[in-house]
Structure 1
């Protein structure tokens, strides 16, 4: 009797099949991880875009409102006794201090402080709602309002851009956007006599104060570098971010924070999504 011939896999073929299956599984897992990482990085980039645009829009609104006077009201002062804009380089402030009168050590690569003054409109505690501070509270006619922007760390150590304001209950501050690497401000100074409302040069707060030039500021440059919450980038490139462009960074090495180099950041933050946002906003004409 002739025995039946077995046509199944031998041990060698079986081991080869297992090895090939493992290779395919590893490749598929790698693609899945890469796809998930790219998706997370894209999501963080979208979040950065939304947060950055919102922050610039809020600050631009406050800048355009700076120096506002309601000439139709009997309560309106004839002119602002002080400049409508003020600021600090490489500093922070507290939530409850009076304006920017008590500077604190800087956070987030020497981030700046921007302060804007304006007068309200309408009667009552919150006025008629046409003149509001950065917290969204109305400011009554004849009352000086404030919108102050600065960077501080929350309880978990995450740096955030905050809006400080004075309401009927006193000073307060709210977070605008989290994950701030640097917030920088330059002031366009009109040095012509008489002033024509066109900036001749852009200076930081220290330089403006040195020439007593706050009342000559006619526009403001804003720059904001934000990072995501997680390390989602697949590359290992150490990026460099010049918030006002390489030329300004090279010629103003003393202006801390206008250049941020990822290699100098904490290792835990180097592979996060990052994005620079910038805008130049003209101030209101002080005569109207």
Structure 2
């Protein structure tokens, strides 16, 4: 009896192998594309979270400084002669300041996208040398009774050319400044002034720093003590803040083309007697930015801080 013939084993033909390779390659490419998209979405989410954290932190720090400056102790250094003392709040439009120069003296016109400067001053509290911890500048340093603290916010570029919002303060021997948040497209401010007589503590107009200075100039006062007594900066009862931030990485697939009204759309229509289109930096357009910046995620943060009435 003849032994059974073994079954004939066939391999894949060349066309079958090519089809299998093509299918495998398509699956691999699809999986790779999904991985790239997932990674891009993760990076974009992380960038957005970082921008949100930085924006909220910066606004809260500015708001805290404003409220602290407004809540003056009647027994403090600044309240001892409140009428003739300088205003606790001051600002500059489309300016920057030096890291080590006193206060906001000697400002520079080299402002990042027309960004503004906000300066607040406040009295210390508690015994020397460290105080009681209730009066703190924007860098976190305590200010003792008999001293005057400063918190100054402005935008400048770091060594890598990246614009950052800085906190300037007065130390024991000199002035210095630290970065609060980087990736700043613009920092804008409006001041709500109480024009009523008698004053009721409510803002009637929102104007920029140049407009406040123009109102002071119109008083025609030469005596510094009298100017301090009647300055319109002492009529500021609220401050509107606009802060536009961008991420550190390019996460967009297409360049952005949005326009951001940092002080609100109404300001561009001339609210408060100063049209937004004449206030440098109050409206920023992505199509005017560099191609690299247009690919970055961007967030606009706004806040209006109502100042507590000064203690009687």
Q: TM-score range by the shorter chain?
A: over 0.9
Of 243, 267, 274, 2:291 maps to 267
Q: Provide Cα deviations, 1:89-146, integer angstroms capped at 9, x if missing partner.
A: 1111111011111111343311110001111112213322211111112222232221
In the other structure, the counterpart of 2:36 is: 33
The answer to whether the Cα contact below 8 Å between 2:124 and 2:145 also exists between their aligned partners in 1 is: yes
Larger Rg: 2
Q: Distance in 1 between matches of 2:129 and 2:215?
A: 37
In the other structure, the counterpart of 2:170 is: 166
Cα displacement (A) at 1:234:
3.0
Q: Distance in 2 between matches of 1:152 and 1:52?
A: 16
More displaced stretch, 272-281 vs 105-114: 105-114
The answer to whether the Cα contact below 8 Å between 2:257 and 2:287 also exists between their aligned partners in 1 is: yes
Taking a change above 3 Å as real, the CA distance of residues 20 and 64 of structure 1, as seen in their structure-2 partners, is same
Which structure has more strand as a fraction of its residues?
1
1:83-232 correspondence runs (5 A): 83-212=87-216, 213-232=232-251
**Paired residues, number:** 288
Is 1:66 matched with 2:90?
no
Is 1:14 matched with 2:17?
yes
Q: Distance in 1 between matches of 2:282 and 2:76?
A: 42
Taking a change above 3 Å as real, the CA distance of residues 121 and 76 of structure 1, as seen in their structure-2 partners, is farther
Q: Distance in 1 between matches of 2:15 and 2:111?
A: 64
Taking a change above 3 Å as real, the CA distance of residues 200 and 76 of structure 1, as seen in their structure-2 partners, is closer
Cα displacement (A) at 1:255:
1.1
Q: Distance in 2 between matches of 1:75 and 1:219?
A: 20
Q: Distance in 2 between matches of 1:191 and 1:173?
A: 34
Cα displacement (A) at 1:245:
2.2
Which structure has more helix as a fraction of its residues?
2
Q: Distance in 1 between matches of 2:137 and 2:235?
A: 23
Q: Distance in 2 between matches of 1:108 and 1:38?
A: 30
Cα displacement (A) at 1:75:
9.0
Normalised to the residue count of structure 1, the TM-score between the two structures is 0.93
The answer to whether the Cα contact below 8 Å between 1:107 and 1:153 also exists between their aligned partners in 2 is: no
Cα displacement (A) at 1:284:
3.1
CA RMSD, Structure 1 to Structure 2 (Å): 2.1
Q: Distance in 2 between matches of 1:249 and 1:109?
A: 16
Of 269, 281, 288, 2:305 maps to 281
The answer to whether the Cα contact below 8 Å between 2:77 and 2:148 also exists between their aligned partners in 1 is: no
The answer to whether the Cα contact below 8 Å between 1:190 and 1:218 also exists between their aligned partners in 2 is: yes
Q: Distance in 2 between matches of 1:16 and 1:74?
A: 86
In the other structure, the counterpart of 1:242 is: 261
In the other structure, the counterpart of 1:44 is: 47
Q: Provide Cα deviations, 1:42-85, integer angstroms capped at 9, x if missing partner.
A: 00111111111111111111000114433346995231611111
Q: Distance in 2 between matches of 1:11 and 1:169?
A: 83
